[in-house]
Amino acid sequence: MINVPKGTKDVLPQDSYKWQFVENTARKTARLFNAQEIRTPTFEHTEVFLRGVGETTDIVNKEMYTFNDKGGRSITLKPEGTAGVARAFIENGMSSMTLPSKLFYITQCFRYERPQAGRLREFHQFGIEFLGSKSAGIDAEVIILAKTFLDNLGIKNLTLYINNIGCKECRQKYANALRDYFAKYEDGLCELCKSRLEKNPMRVLDCKNSDCKEINKNAPEILDYLCDDCSNHFKKVKEYLDVNGVEYKVDPRIVRGLDYYTKTVFEFVSENIGAQGTVCGGGRYDGLIGQLGGNDVPGIGFATGIERLLMVMENSGVEVKNDNEVTVYLAPMGEMEAKKCFELCNVLRQNGYVADTDYMGKSIKAQFKYADKINAKYVAVIGSSEIENNSVKFKRMSDGVETLVDFNKILEFLKGEGL
Ligand code: HAM
């Protein structure tokens, strides 16, 4: 038997309706905020992520699916959505269209990580990217969009953590303070962090190595190094959240695992799905578009992992209704009647009703059982006498009421039933 590759999963029909619920809720919520869908390719030139996500990040260092294609180009399967959206925004001249550009996507992502609960090698993100505005109001709007989405899914008990990691200027001062601090503990840091110290010491704060984590505990905090502009921005974001009654905790330790962030960063964290508790993460990235060769256009967004959302929903008892019901199930008594069922099914489908019949030669008892399993609203058994009389009894499954209906009046009957 050939198995799925490690860190990937099949989504089977008994679960796919839950995915549809999450995706439909994502689309509806994005529209409430006037966001429109963008679809970018599954793979990009590797450079998009080297320059976008950042060369000192774990994603770029260890986790990317990178290969040379047959033309010798270095290609990477997208590890996240933002860099590709930024590339598309520049390439399609979107900065000269109406701003802000309010975009959303639902996409698969690929990271070569060690698989565990909530951490896969292929996973799916619902993401938002709002480009063009520097306003603190839009930061709060993006955070509230994420919260509205999580609320609409029925997920409770998440904690929203926010931080401000500054602009280029305050980050420079902060990086120096971190270098001074880490210099005292350099021997204790992992090899990767040692190499990060020079280029980007903030990455050390995000390291998952237990020794590095211990050293990080007493490291200087970014909030003490913010310039006036960044401090004011943070204050305003908090005011906007307060005005809307959004609860949050300021966590100066959030740095996020990607290099493009500036100023506002945030995460929604669940306590009940184990180590991979961050279900949603995002922030502002005012330098990204410029870094990838575009104009100086600011942006802010987030992404949430669908697999993690489904885990939280399951663990906190959120029930998703499977509304994939069948309007009519036509049960043939034998081979002769199967043709009539086949014909009627197709008439029903052409008129917008979900219809099904038997192709397995099941007994009538087994067909009723099956009809129940597929949530059939009506079942009609067709035997030789039904064919002779040109009519059939429709059994309403919710209350067992039976109605005799002429074959050529089935559509009228269903309309009369309010369908
Ligand atoms: P991220 O924090 O790397 O941010 O990922 C966002 C979310 O994707 C995580 O909170 C998690 O739910 C999910 N996720 C990440 N890695 C995995 C994995 N290996 N298995 C399962 N789920 C995973 C970003 O990707 C940014 N692009 C978010 C963003 C958009 N920031 C601004 N705009």
Is there a contact between 196 and 204 (Cβ–Cβ < 8 Å)?
yes
- Give the Å distance between the CA of 97 and the centre of ligand 1: 28
pTM: 0.94
Q: Which atom of ligand 1 is nearest to the CA of 121?
A: 19
**Does residue 341 carry a pLDDT above 90?**
yes
* 83 vs 46: CA distance, rounded Å: 11
Q: Which atom of ligand 1 is nearest to the CA of 309?
A: 12
- Do 21 and 59 lie in a common domain? yes
- Do 97 and 160 lie in a common domain? yes
Within a domain: residue 38? yes
Q: How many domains does the chain have?
A: 2
- Do 302 and 337 lie in a common domain? no
- Do 231 and 334 lie in a common domain? no
Full residue range of the structural domain in which residue 155 is found: 13-167+227-315
Q: What are phi and psi of 270, to 5 degrees?
A: -105, 140
- Do 400 and 303 lie in a common domain? no
Secondary structure (DSSP) of 367-405 = HHHHHHHTTEEEEEEE-HHHHHHTEEEEEETTT--EEEE
Share of the chain above pLDDT 90, in %: 90
Pocket of ligand 1 contains residue 367 by CB under 6 Å: no
CA-based angle 292:293:297, to the nearest 5?
Answer: 85
User: How do residues 271-320 score in pLDDT, each as one tens digit?
Assistant: 888 888 999 999 999 999 999 999 999 999 999 999 999 999 999 899 99
Angle between helices 228-243 and 136-152 (to 10 degrees): 40
User: pLDDT value at position 333?
Assistant: 97
User: How do residues 103-156 score in pLDDT, each as one tens digit?
Assistant: 999 999 999 999 999 999 999 999 999 999 999 999 999 999 999 999 999 998
Pocket of ligand 1 contains residue 60 by CB under 6 Å: no
Residue nearest to ligand 1 atom 20, measured at CA: 119
Q: Which atom of ligand 1 is nearest to the CA of 81?
A: 27
User: How do residues 259-274 score in pLDDT, each as one tens digit?
Assistant: 999 999 999 999 888 8
Residue nearest to ligand 1 atom 15, measured at CA: 305
- Do 249 and 268 lie in a common domain? yes
Within a domain: residue 100? yes
- Do 29 and 113 lie in a common domain? yes
Q: Which atom of ligand 1 is nearest to the CA of 125?
A: 8
- Do 268 and 140 lie in a common domain? yes
Pocket of ligand 1 contains residue 262 by CB under 6 Å: no
Q: Which of 113, 119, 108, 107 is nearest to 64 (CA)?
A: 113
User: pLDDT value at position 244?
Assistant: 96
Rounded average pLDDT over 63-92: 98
User: pLDDT value at position 4?
Assistant: 97
3 state SS for 38-91: CCCCCEEEHHHHHHHCCCCCHHHHHHCCEEECCCCCEEEECCCCHHHHHHHHHH
Candidate of 110, 120, 278 to mutate for ligand 1, largest count of ligand atoms within 8 Å of Cβ: 278
* 143 vs 283: CA distance, rounded Å: 9
Residue nearest to ligand 1 atom 3, measured at CA: 257
- Give the Å distance between the CA of 66 and the centre of ligand 1: 19
User: How do residues 376-402 score in pLDDT, each as one tens digit?
Assistant: 999 999 999 999 999 999 999 999 999
Within a domain: residue 134? yes
Q: What is the DSSP letter of 116?
A: B
Within a domain: residue 214? no
CATH number assigned to the domain comprising residue 384: 3.40.50.800
Within a domain: residue 211? no
Residue nearest to ligand 1 atom 2, measured at CA: 281
User: pLDDT value at position 172?
Assistant: 92
Angle between helices 13-32 and 306-315 (to 10 degrees): 110
Within a domain: residue 191? no
- Do 17 and 126 lie in a common domain? yes
CATH number assigned to the domain comprising residue 233: 3.30.930.10
- DSSP H helix total and E strand total for the chain: 15, 16
Beta 66-68 vs 74-77: how paired, if at all? antiparallel
Q: Which residues contact 199 (CB under 8 A, 6 or more apart)?
A: 55, 56
User: pLDDT value at position 147?
Assistant: 98
User: pLDDT value at position 272?
Assistant: 81
User: pLDDT value at position 323?
Assistant: 84
**Does residue 411 carry a pLDDT above 90?**
yes
User: pLDDT value at position 274?
Assistant: 83
Q: Give 339's pLDDT tier (boundaries 50, 70, 90).
A: very high
Candidate of 102, 122, 123, 254 to mutate for ligand 1, largest count of ligand atoms within 8 Å of Cβ: 123
User: pLDDT value at position 115?
Assistant: 96
Within a domain: residue 261? yes
- List strand residue ranges (DSSP E) for 98-168, in order: 101-110, 122-131, 158-164
User: pLDDT value at position 141?
Assistant: 98
Q: Give 255's pLDDT tier (boundaries 50, 70, 90).
A: confident
* 267 vs 159: CA distance, rounded Å: 8
Rounded average pLDDT over 346-372: 97
- Give the Å distance between the CA of 109 and the centre of ligand 1: 9
Sign for the CA dihedral angle at 241, 245, 251, 252 comes to: positive
**Does residue 372 carry a pLDDT above 90?**
yes
User: How do residues 34-73 score in pLDDT, each as one tens digit?
Assistant: 999 999 999 999 999 999 999 888 899 999 999 999 999 9
Pocket of ligand 1 contains residue 298 by CB under 6 Å: no
Beta 262-270 vs 158-164: how paired, if at all? antiparallel
* 59 vs 113: CA distance, rounded Å: 9
User: pLDDT value at position 56?
Assistant: 85
Within a domain: residue 204? no
User: How do residues 162-216 score in pLDDT, each as one tens digit?
Assistant: 999 999 999 999 999 999 999 999 899 999 899 888 888 998 998 888 999 999 9
Residue nearest to ligand 1 atom 30, measured at CA: 302
- Do 287 and 332 lie in a common domain? no
Rounded alpha-carbon distances, angstroms, from residue 197 to 188, 265, 326: 13, 22, 61
Assigned token pair, 278: 């961050």
* 199 vs 186: CA distance, rounded Å: 15
- Do 31 and 130 lie in a common domain? yes
Pocket of ligand 1 contains residue 125 by CB under 6 Å: yes
Can you list the alpha helix ranges (DSSP code H) found in 279-383?
A: 288-291, 306-315, 335-350, 364-373
Rounded average pLDDT over 219-244: 97
User: pLDDT value at position 175?
Assistant: 92
- Do 380 and 348 lie in a common domain? yes
Q: Return the bridge partners of 305, or none.
A: 125
Is there a contact between 115 and 144 (Cβ–Cβ < 8 Å)?
no
